[in-house]
Structures are given as C-alpha cells and as structure tokens.
Amino acid sequence: MAIFTRSIILSCGLLGLGTSLAQAQSIPFTKEQFTIDKDGLKLAQRELELGDHEMGADPARFGAALPHYLRAQKFNPKNALLNAKIGECYLHSATKQEALPYLQRAQQLDAKAEPRLHYLLARALHLGGQWEAAIKEYEQARPVAAEATSDDVAVTTDDLARCVRECHRGQQMQAHPVRVKLENVGPNINSAMSDYAPLISADESVLLLTSRRAGSTGGQLDAEGDGMLEDIYQSDWTGSGWSPARNLGAPVNTAHHDATVGLSADGQHLLVYMEDNEGDIYESDLIGNAWSKPKNLGARLNTKYHESAACYSPDGKYLYFVSDRPEGNRGGRDIYRLELDARTPAENLGPVINSPYDEEGVFMHPDGKTLYFSSKGHDSMGGYDIFKSTLNAKGQWSEPENLGWPINTPDDDVYFVMSASGQHGYYSSDQPGGLGGKDIYRVTFLGPEPAPAAIAAKTPTKPKPGAPAALGAKAPTAPAKPAAVPALTAATLAHVTVLKGMVTDAVSKKPLAATIEVIDNSKGEVIATYQSNAATGRYLISLPSGLNYGVAVRQPGYLLYSENVNLAANAPYAERQQDVALNRPTLGSIVELRNIFFAPAQADLRPESAAELIRLQQLLTEQPTLRLELSGQGDADASADLRQQRAEAILAYLTSHGIARARLSTAALGQPVASVASTPQPTSGPTAFRVVATAAN
C-alpha cells in the first residue's frame, strides 16, 4: 500500500454511493446500433468488461480501469454510462480536472443517469472551484443520500451538507487570499508523474521527496495505474537553484513502495514509509555521504494498522505520527505523539487537533511548538487542507488555523513542511499548470499588507494593461464578497536561531564526527544531542528563542569546545555560521569555557555553570595525564584578585568532585580573553584553561 493511496483522495464519501449508474438513454453498445463494425464492437465490449472487472475489485482499481474505458469510448463516445465511469475514474486520479467534461457529457447525453450523476458532477465542480455550480449539484444529489450510514450506502445527507459547507468556506477563502508567492519548484525536482511529500533541512539546503517517475529501483508499475512504485529522491541547493533530483537507490529504496515521511532538522536522520504490516515507519541515518539501511522503529510506533506519516520533534525526543489504530482514535487517521526513550504508549493529541475525519502529513517546526498537518475536518474547503496549531507553555494546543487560499485548494493539499526561518513552506498539490500529477510547490509568505499610509507615501505608478496582481492583492473596485477569513501571516512565526558549520581537526583540517550537546543552562540539562557528519564535518542545530543555551562539542582524544548562545524570547530568526576546530591536548593550548558564570563582581559560581563544570570534570577523568592551569576571567574592570578567586572557585569544584589537586593550578592569564560569542553574556566574560601537561610530558 502506497503512502499516498487513492483511499485518501476523495472526501464526502464518494466510494460509498455504490457502483451502478442509472441506465443511460444514449447509444448503447449493441449490435443493433453498430451493424457495420461488429469486430470493433466486440473489442469495445471487451474493453468495457475489463474496465468493469477493475472497478469491481475491492478496493476498486480506478487507475487500471481508466485506459480500458477510454479505448471503449473511442469506439462509442456517446454512451452516457461510459462517460460517467470515465469521469469517476478521473476523480480518483492525479488529473482530476479531466473528470468534468466527461461527467458533463454524460449528463447531456442522458439526464436520467441522475441522481448519482449529480453527485459525481458536484465533486468535479467542487474540485474545480466552481462553488455555486457545485452547491447546486450537491443539492440535487440529496434524493439518493441515505439519512443514516449503513454498510451499503456511506453518503448521508449530513455528508452532502458538509460538502456544501466546504464550498461556502472555499468561496470565503478564495475571496480573501493570503499574501503569498506560490511557485512550482520546477523540472529539476518535479516530473511528469506525481511528486509529493517534500522534506527539507532547517536551512533549506537539502530537499527529499517521493516520486512515481520512471526509473524506480524496482522498475514496477503501480497496480492502480499511477506511475511507478514510490521511490525516494534527493536534491541539494546549489546557491542558485535545486540540483536535479537523484534516486537514493538501495538500501533506502527497494522493489516496493518507499516514501519520505520525516527529516531531522539537521538533515542527518530520515523517516521512511514502507509497506510492512499495512504500512510502517522506518529510520535511516546519514553516515558520511550514504544513507543506512532503514530500520523498523518498533512496536510502540508501528502496529498492524496503518502508520502513514511521522516527524521528529526538534530535540529528537519525540515522534509525531499518523495512524488509523483504534486505540483512542477519534475517526479515521489521527495524530499521535511518542516519547522515544520512554516506555509509555503513544498518546493521541486529542480533539483540538484530531477531527472526526482524517488527519495526515504531520510536521513540527524547528521552534518546537508549531505543528503543521493536513485534515479533512476542521474548516477544510474540500479534501485535505493544511492547518497549523501552536503548543503553549501549559501543553495546550491552539485551535487549528487553515493556511488559506491559494495554499489550500478544494483538492488534497498535504505533506507541508516549513523552513526554520518561517519564510518558506513546501508541500505537494495538484495545481493548474503543473508538470504532471501532484507537484511540489514552494510558498513564500509575504506578511501582512502594507499600511495605507505606507502605500500612499510611495510614488504612484500606473500598472501596465493586463499586468497580474500579486497573490493576495485586492482589486481597486471589488464586488461584494462573503465575510472575510483572517489571513495567516506565517512570516511572523520564526523565533529560531540556526547554528551551523563544520567540525574539523584543528591541525589536519579533516572533518570529525563529533558529539554536540545542547544544554539549557538555566536547568543544567542536556536537551538535545547531535552528531556532526563524519564525511563532511557539517552540523546544524535549531535553537528556539527564549533560552540561555550552552553548546558543547566533544570528541574522544580532543579538548572540548564550548559556546554560549543566549537568546531573548523575541529574538528573530537568524543563521550563525560557527565552524569548530578541535584541538588535541598539546602544551600551551587554551580553551575558553563560555558557560561558566559568576555573579557580577563576585567569585560565587552560579547554578547555570553546572553543566560546563561537569564536562570539564569528565574531560579530566577521561584523560588522566592531563594537567590544567585555570584562569578566572572577567571584564576589563575586573581585578586580578577577582579573576584569581574565580579560578580558585573552579578548582575547588573539581577537587571536590574527585580531581587530584596536583593536576590543577590557577593563573589570571594576564589580560581577559575576549569572548567570541555574538550574544550578550548574563555575567562577565568567559573562564579559560591552559594545558600545562599531557601524556607526552
């Protein structure tokens, strides 16, 4: 079963209406109608039989039935029933816009094909954004809608009422579009077949996607006729554009369905959908330049039910995922959260997030609190719409907000991911003018409209005749519109700092696979651990605003590296390039300890220093021949006595925790060493140590 199955394409219960249309009063496939071309009639009848066989499967194989029906339709284009079947097949395809002319032709040929034809036609009009016409057809479909759900008839009058509400909502959102720039990412990434489920690293340097294009690893066609079986592809940002997407190949891609699900913010860990047990989530790690063989993430996540999507929390401690498991389920597919290192079961996110309908495509932003997901419920305009919800300090989710038109359409809009900056989103959608099937699009959020005063201050220019307006712009004289829908401005979202760079050996300049710990200094707790890439030395860390962070880089056989990143709660998005050159213990080496803090003008160690002191103690324990000279630093006005007292405070801590006094000495080291941290320190400047003896001495 593919991650993007046909079962999620149509809402409002299309499948439950049954498989038979009213018999058309049009040209039937009989000998009486085709007395001359009897051989052609036999071939057309055979194609009809083959198409009906595919449609009669459980579940119906619309994609496989369609080519048979199209061949029969070439022989007799004036059969209403056949045209309706073709329209229904297209409604379940990647090119749903093709359904409308066939359904309209069916209605013209035989109005008695109603009332089910009204519903099919309403769906096609709805998907095309023809709101009023769709509402009219939905209303005319009411006579065949059951008033209660049963095994045979799944569409009720409530379902039709819901579809009408979706049309009204679509009218409102289309009349008040959000200010965005929507771009197809182009032929280097998209193909003539469906491409979807994009994933990006936090800094948008890497993009992975799922594709059904030719050249798949297994070389097998999908049984539903929607291209090849799914494979995973990768594209890299070159500085001026995306590189041509390349197939990841084995061991990530297999002869079966393999699809992108989630990517860690640093681009080092990939969540993959595979077909085991109706659909399970696997994990692959980037080791050097190669992805490892995906491993199953276990029974706490994967069940005998369908797990279709997942993402990491920014700190890597949780997985958010989508499942249709019955435990705690509110309807269809729900979003759950799993704590990876605990033994507790996954928890359903509850009724604020999970509607009575399906949810899909979950993504947690690097800020650690903003969740993006797709839903057929809430206030969708049809199919899956993309929503966002924010987690507050009390652990409560805000009411989901629809991202609005033109991001969302009446079709399925799913698998949305957002850059750490909050400026760009990526998702898959079937938009007019695409390259084929679903394509991947990039959304640039333009923010709120300029204030009228700012607009008036600009020199007026007369637009060229026929010049297009930016998305979200209002016409000078607009007709009456439905009530406004608040426009979401995601550009105000990002309060994140991305710290990235390379970890190398200071002498050889070779990359190192170092451990990088992120510490909440206020609690003295390691809140996330990362690994720099062994082949490139690259690392990337997303730091939500509002904390005083310690960042420690460690590698066996090397001295430690310490950085402080102190972010105010409202600190805007920023990227910091911080290359780290690790030194082996050599005589005279100096290391600054930027996360040891003292009260102003005092020598008392503050509690925020605990994690850094522990790391210094660990360094001395792991390298027992190392001897250090400690320096208590201060600002330019700090006295030599104060610096000496601070050094002695550190020495006292170490000796009280098992480090021999003979291995430690103190010195003010002359003038204070200036901190290279780019953010204000909560106290005076950094402490340091100098290596005065190693194993070689």
Q: What is the pLDDT of residue 477?
A: 35
Please determine, for residue 432, whether its predicted confidence score (pLDDT) is greater than 70: yes
Between residues 695 and 590, the one the model is more confident about: 590
- Of 173, 205, 623, the closest CA to residue 407 belongs to 173
Q: How confident is the model at residue 456 (pLDDT cuts 50, 70, 90)?
A: low
Distance CA 232, CA 238 (A): 20
Q: How confident is the model at residue 383 (pLDDT cuts 50, 70, 90)?
A: very high
Q: What is the pLDDT of residue 48?
A: 95
Q: What is the pLDDT of residue 385?
A: 96
Q: How confident is the model at residue 451 (pLDDT cuts 50, 70, 90)?
A: low
Preceding peptide of 345 cis, ω within 30°: no
Between residues 384 and 2, the one the model is more confident about: 384
Tokens in use for 146? 């059951």
5-30: pLDDT as tens digits? 433 344 454 434 444 444 446 788 88
Q: Where are the alpha helices (DSSP H) in 176-232?
A: none
245-279: pLDDT as tens digits? 999 999 999 999 999 999 999 999 999 999 888 88
Please determine, for residue 636, whether its predicted confidence score (pLDDT) is greater than 90: no
In the predicted model, what is the mean pLDDT of the chain? 86
Task: Tell me the domain boundaries of the chain.
Answer: 6-175, 180-449, 496-693
Distance CA 524, CA 592 (A): 19
Comparing 188-197, 422-431, 508-517, 531-540, which segment has the lowest mean pLDDT? 422-431
609-629: pLDDT as tens digits? 999 999 999 999 999 999 999
Please determine, for residue 483, whether its predicted confidence score (pLDDT) is greater than 70: no
Tokens in use for 474? 């209002």
| CATH pick for 496-693 out of 3.30.1330.60, 3.40.50.720, 3.40.50.1100, 3.10.310.50 | 3.30.1330.60
Q: What is the pLDDT of residue 146?
A: 61
Q: How confident is the model at residue 143 (pLDDT cuts 50, 70, 90)?
A: confident
Q: How confident is the model at residue 685 (pLDDT cuts 50, 70, 90)?
A: low
Pair 252, 239: CB distance under 8 Å: no
Q: Provide the whole-model pTM.
A: 0.85
Please determine, for residue 47, whether its predicted confidence score (pLDDT) is greater than 90: yes
Q: How confident is the model at residue 219 (pLDDT cuts 50, 70, 90)?
A: confident
285-319: pLDDT as tens digits? 999 999 999 999 999 999 999 999 999 999 999 99
- Which positions ≥6 away from 659 have C-beta within 8 Å? 617, 620, 621
Q: What is the pLDDT of residue 677?
A: 38
Q: What is the pLDDT of residue 188?
A: 97
CA angle 163, 165, 169 (to 5 degrees): 115
50-72: pLDDT as tens digits? 999 999 998 899 999 999 999 99
Distance CA 528, CA 319 (A): 14
Between residues 164 and 461, the one the model is more confident about: 164
- Which positions ≥6 away from 457 have C-beta within 8 Å? none
- Of 415, 409, 439, the closest CA to residue 177 belongs to 409
Distance CA 333, CA 340 (A): 21
* CATH tag, 180-449: 2.120.10.30
**CATH class entry, domain 6-175:** mainly alpha
